[in-house]
Each structure stands twice: as structure tokens, then as C-alpha cells.
Amino acid sequence: MHDKSVIEIKNLTKYYHTYADILCAVKNLNLKVHHKQIVSIMGPSGCGKTTILKMLGGMLKPSSGEIVYFNQTFTEGIPEEFLKKIGYVFQIDNLLPWRTVQKNLELPLEVLGFKGKEWIRRIDDLLEMVGLSDYKYAYPHELSGGMKQRIGVIRALVHNPEIILMDQPFGSLDAITRKLLNYEFLSLWKKTKKTIMLITNDIEEALLLSSKIYLLSNPPGEIVNEIDFNVSAEERNRALVKSKKFNQMSLKLRRLIKEEKLQVS
């Protein structure tokens, strides 16, 4: 069993002030992510999934509520010095086209002030883990979509953060590449055992990777269901997807989405 809570959200709410109105994106959100756990958030378009991640990643300040990391409470956003503990994977790879793969991977180290040969060695180790050592000096335009997204994932790991926030990291890829990267990512997680919060719109992806799934309502986003899928790390593999247990949970999740009249995207 996971031994401690790493991320906790308490009554988290976010309003956006527009020219004509005040919009509530996320309302009274409460959730927990435990040590070395992958937790997924699913929900319809506009329910505040990315807003939640941006608040957790220090890009947005909450309107009210608390974000608790390692028992340390933040109400006014995440301070810059704490961001060293967090890695962020975006929906698109966001690689700088004028930088090589290595230079793109060095960027978080430059921003966060990490220096030394051990960090360059870490880049080499991560490239090897995802099978891209030969592309160290390549430029983004020389890579396929799947390769670029792999680089996006390991860039979030370069500074060795304790928490990874992932915003639909494989959503822009074709179905075959997405499935392949799911298994690769699972293998990477088994080696690094980071605590991860993942936004996904894919039921199979959520069940393969996550031990808990939070289902959000139509906007404004509130949690309408928590689904536990307690499968050991060893069991999370290609065989799991074909298992009766997996298919039953998939049907349950589809039923819940249908009952709540959610257009998950």
C-alpha cells in the first residue's frame, strides 16, 4: 500500500474573469495522490482539467482552497523555489526548434540552476531509457511525433523532480503510437517510481497507468466519481489489458461516464 500522501487538494476553486462575465472553471475540488502513485483525471472538455494541473504546477493561482505538497500548504500559488520538485509534461512537446535534443533537455537545468557533469550524465541515461541515444544531436524537425513526445516526457524528469504533472501527453498521437508510448511510459515509471498526476481522455490509458481515476463533472469541474483500480506495478503490462478484470473495470468506467452524461475529451 502507498505509504503517504504527496499531493492533496482541499476545496480548490478557480474563477476566470472575462470581459462580460465571471466563469467558474473548477469548484471545491478535493483529492489526494499518494507516494509513487499514478492518479488520472478524466472529464469533459472545459471542466478545468488543465486548469487544475496549471495550479499544481504554479502557472495559475487558485481563487480559493489549498494545495498541499508533502504536508506543506500553499494558498497563493506554488512558490518558485518549490518548482524544483515538480516536472511538467505538456499536451504538445513544446521543444524549441533551434535547439538539439540535448540542448532542449538541458533547458530545465538552466532555468532551475542545476550545473555539473552529473546532470549531463542524467540526460544520457534518460535518452537511453527511451531508446533515443542516437538522436542526442538531432533537431526537433528530424524527429517523429512519438519521438518528440518521448523527449517531452524525459525533459520533465531531467532535474529529478519528485512529482510529475502530465497534461494529455499522448493525446495528439495516432492510436498505435499512443499505445506503444503507454507501455514505454509504464516501463519508465517502474524504473523511476515518480508520483504522477495524469490528465487523459482515454479509458484504456487511464486504467493501464493509474491506481485511481477521478471523474470530473460537466463545467464547472467537480469530482463526481472516484474509481480505484488496485493492480500491482508488476501486473500493469500488455496482458492486463486483455484480462477480465481490466475489461470489467473499463465497462464500469464507460457506464459511469454515460450515467453522468459526460462527453469525455
Instruction: For residue 206, give the CATH number of its domain.
Output: 3.40.50.300
Number of domains the chain contains: 1
Question: The dihedral of CA 229, 235, 236, 239: what is its sign?
Answer: negative
Q: 162 falls in which pLDDT band (50, 70, 90)?
A: very high
CA angle 29, 34, 39 (to 5 degrees): 60
pLDDT at 178: 86
265 occurs within a structural domain: no
How many CA atoms lie within 13 Å of 115's alpha carbon, on the beta-carbon side? 1
Q: What pLDDT, on a 0 to 100 scale, did the predictor assign at position 3?
A: 47
Range of the domain at 35: 5-259
- What does DSSP assign to residue 224? E
pLDDT one-digit tens code per residue, 84-134: 999 999 888 889 999 999 999 999 999 888 888 899 899 999 999 899 999
Q: Is the pLDDT of residue 9 over 90?
A: yes
User: How far, in Å, CA of 243 to CA of 238, rounded?
Assistant: 9
Quick one: pLDDT at residue 113? 87
59 found inside a domain:
yes
pLDDT digits (tens, 9 = 90+) for 36-52: 999 999 988 878 899 99
**How many angstroms separate the first and last alpha carbons of the chain?**
31
For the cut 90, the answer to whether the pLDDT of residue 81 exceeds it is: no
Put the strands of the sheet holding 72-74 in their side by side order: 22-34, 5-17, 64-69, 72-74
Q: Does the structure show a pLDDT above 70 at 219?
A: yes
Examine residue 264 and state whether it is found in any structural domain, yes or no: no
Q: What are phi and psi of 57, to 5 degrees?
A: -90, 5
Interaxial angle between packed helices 145-157 and 117-129, expressed in degrees from 0 to 180 and rounded to the nearest 10: 140
pLDDT score at 2: 42
Note the helical H segments in the chain: 49-56, 101-112, 117-129, 145-157, 175-192, 203-209, 238-241, 244-259
Task: Report whether the peptide linkage leading into residue 220 is cis, meaning its omega lies within 30 degrees of zero.
Answer: yes
pLDDT score at 1:
40
Render pLDDT for 230-265 as a digit per residue (tens, 0 to 9): 998 899 999 999 999 999 999 999 988 888 776 665
- DSSP for 158-182, please give it: TT--SEEEEESTTTTS-HHHHHHHH
Whether 164 is in a domain gets the answer: yes
